Amino acid sequence: MHSESDKTEAPPSKTRRKREADALQALGETLVGLPEARLAAIELPDRLREAVMEARRIKARGGRRRQLQYIGKLMRSIDADPIRAALDDFTRQNRRAARAFRQLEALRDQLIAEGDAALGEVLERFPHCDRQHLRQLMRQARKDQAADKTAGLRALFRYLRELSETAS
């Protein structure tokens, strides 16, 4: 027969606790590596924020390791889910921005390679586009590409990014 004590949940194993502590320490290490503006956007307890700032300052390997362990200890005493959620949100934003960047690069390369055929696609996508200015940028980019220069390519990319930002 099963007794009442069998139905109660057993405390987590030492291995599980260690794994969770390591995950929290890794999360703290991620906080240390964040840019200042991103770190400021995350709601952190004062002691944890100070510990993260101190870890950034420390250059010695042993001292930095100990500081990261301390950050892990502080992380165990707070609810880390909001921090994880904020970091996940930053990651999604970065992926979205990188995807948009790659799409604009591909569109720029397509404009240079295909010319007027690709121009129609761009005009459909961005109806407010200045056709004459876009053609000038395309011609300059082709010339610069043939001469191994990048100024025209960058100017065309900047214009496409401008169009994309005004469209959204």
Q: Is residue 57 situated within a structural domain?
A: yes
Average pLDDT over residues 11-33: 92
What pLDDT does residue 137 have? 94
AA identity, residue 113 = A
The answer on 108 and 56 residing in a single domain is no
Question: Counting beta carbons within 10 angstroms of the beta carbon of residue 163, is it exposed (0 to 12), middle (13 to 18) or buried (19 or more)?
Answer: buried
Structural domain harbouring 59: 13-78
Q: Token pair of 34, please?
A: 């964040």
Residue 155 pLDDT > 60, yes or no?
yes
The answer on 115 and 58 residing in a single domain is no
Question: How many structural domains compose the chain?
Answer: 2
The answer on 54 and 21 residing in a single domain is yes
What pLDDT does residue 121 have? 87
What pLDDT does residue 115 have? 87
pLDDT tens-digit readout, 52-87:
999 999 999 999 999 999 999 999 999 999 999 999
Q: Is residue 162 situated within a structural domain?
A: yes
Helices 151-167, 116-125: axis angle to 10 degrees equals 30
Q: Rounded to an integer, what distance in angstroms lies between the CA atom of residue 112 and that of residue 144?
A: 11
What pLDDT does residue 116 have? 85
Q: In whole numbers, what is the pLDDT of the chain averaged over residues?
A: 90
Query: Is the overall model pTM greater than 0.75, yes or no?
Result: no
Q: Token pair of 51, please?
A: 């510990």
